[in-house]
């Protein structure tokens, strides 16, 4: 259902903080042309934490319109309040999206039973498929494989974005879920091995910068050509590190700005622009990869 390369798309903004919808349309077109299999709109990389509901919904709506059925669109609908996550899901259900991505509640540190109740309530409120998102480095709370397996019994919960970066965690989850439960890497640094060990795809930050390479990586792995997958990954591996030298999405936005894909690298507070050393580091890599705008 959701296999291959999905980009965790940034949300472009003008210098005054307003959403740059023309740039958003251009980014979507960029991904369609580069072969990205799907777009995650207003996930955490899209600054969901600092977009109010009306903007969140409008960005998803505009993303669907720009995609025009040529690539799938998954809407971020996570929140640390179950009622807010349900509200967002209900408001976006009719926008033409293909499904939802819902993150483990952050700060609250819910018990495993609390996570089950949270995600089941969200899934019960929609007719669209839901992908779980476990990123304990951000949320602190860690959704265990046994919890994923219990949630996988729900007919609307169809997959997991695993950002632990732990291949052993992937293997533990695989042993507990059916083969058709979609397992997606949310950690670019380990995504190649994730794919080679039986993962179905990625939700990638690096795909913002080199979408064709990530899509081709996924295609190769899904076709069983693991040597090609590793070769492609080696060609872009430095990006996996350098895009995270400051908290995401600081560096992807700066990179896209320098590539001429956005007019401004603006981020909503409390995120700010990267330090000068970070700017120079990513710019040097973009130059090395012939990606820097002239």
Overall average pLDDT of the 275-279 stretch: 98
73 three-state secondary structure = strand
SS (H, E, C) 168-220: HHHHHHHCCCCCCCEEEECCHHHHHHHHHCCCCEEEECHHHCCHHHHHHHHHH
**pLDDT of res. 30:** 98
What is the rounded end-to-end Cα distance, in angstroms, of the chain?
Answer: 39
**Would you name the residues annotated as active-site residues?**
133, 161
**List of domains in the chain:** 4-236 (3.20.20.70)
CA-wise closest residue to 102 among 168, 110, 213:
110
Query: Per residue in 101-137, pLDDT tens?
Result: 999 999 999 999 999 999 999 999 999 999 999 999 9
Average pLDDT over residues 31-48: 98
Predicted confidence at residue 293, as pLDDT, reads 72
- Residue 141, classified by CB atoms within 10 Å of its CB into exposed (0-12), middle (13-18) or buried (19+), is buried
pLDDT on residue 31: 98
- Judged against a pLDDT cut of 90, whether residue 290 lies above it is answered with yes
Three-state SS at 41: strand
Main-chain dihedrals φ then ψ at residue 54, nearest 5 degrees? -65, -40
Instruction: Determine if residue 45 is labeled as part of a ligand binding site.
Output: yes
Q: Which letter does DSSP use for residue 271 in this model?
A: -
What torsion, rounded to 10 degrees, do the Cα atoms 165, 169, 170, 173 define? -150
Confidence of residue 100 (pLDDT cuts 50, 70, 90): very high
Average pLDDT, the chain: 97
Instruction: Say if residue 52's pLDDT is above 90.
Output: yes
User: Is pTM, for the whole model, over 0.85?
Assistant: yes
Q: Report the pLDDT value the prediction gives residue 1, as an integer from 0 to 100.
A: 82
Give the pLDDT mean for 70-82.
Answer: 97
């Amino acid at each position: 259902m959701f296999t291959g390369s999905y980009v965790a798309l940034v949300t472009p903004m003008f210098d005054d903080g307003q959403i740059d919808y023309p740039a958003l349309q251009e980014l979507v077109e960029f991904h369609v042309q580069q072969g990205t299999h799907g777009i995650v709109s207003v996930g955490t990389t899209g600054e969901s934490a600092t977009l109010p509901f009306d903007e969140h919904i409008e960005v998803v709506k505009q993303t669907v319109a720009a995609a025009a059925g040529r690539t799938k669109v998954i809407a971020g609908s996570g929140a640390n309040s179950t009622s807010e996550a349900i509200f967002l899901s209900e408001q976006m259900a009719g926008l033409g999206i293909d499904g939802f991505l819902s993150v483990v509640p952050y700060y609250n540190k819910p018990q495993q039973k609390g996570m089950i109740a949270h995600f089941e309530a969200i899934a019960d409120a929609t007719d669209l498929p839901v992908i779980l998102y476990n990123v304990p480095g951000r949320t602190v709370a860690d959704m265990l494989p046994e919890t994923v397996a219990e949630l996988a019994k729900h007919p609307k919960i169809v997959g997991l974005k695993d950002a632990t970066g732990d291949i052993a965690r992937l293997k533990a989850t695989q042993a507990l879920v059916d083969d058709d439960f979609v397992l997606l890497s949310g950690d670019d640094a380990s995504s190649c091995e994730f794919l080679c060990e039986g993962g179905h795809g990625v939700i990638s930050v690096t795909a913002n910068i080199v979408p064709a390479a990530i899509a081709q990586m996924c295609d190769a792995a899904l076709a069983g050509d693991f040597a090609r997958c590793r070769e492609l990954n080696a060609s872009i591996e430095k990006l996996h590190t350098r895009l995270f030298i400051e908290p995401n999405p600081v560096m992807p936005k700066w990179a896209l700005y320098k590539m001429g894909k956005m007019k401004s690298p603006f981020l909503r507070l409390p995120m700010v622009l990267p330090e000068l050393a970070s700017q120079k580091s990513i710019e040097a890599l973009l130059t090395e990869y012939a990606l820097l705008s002239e």
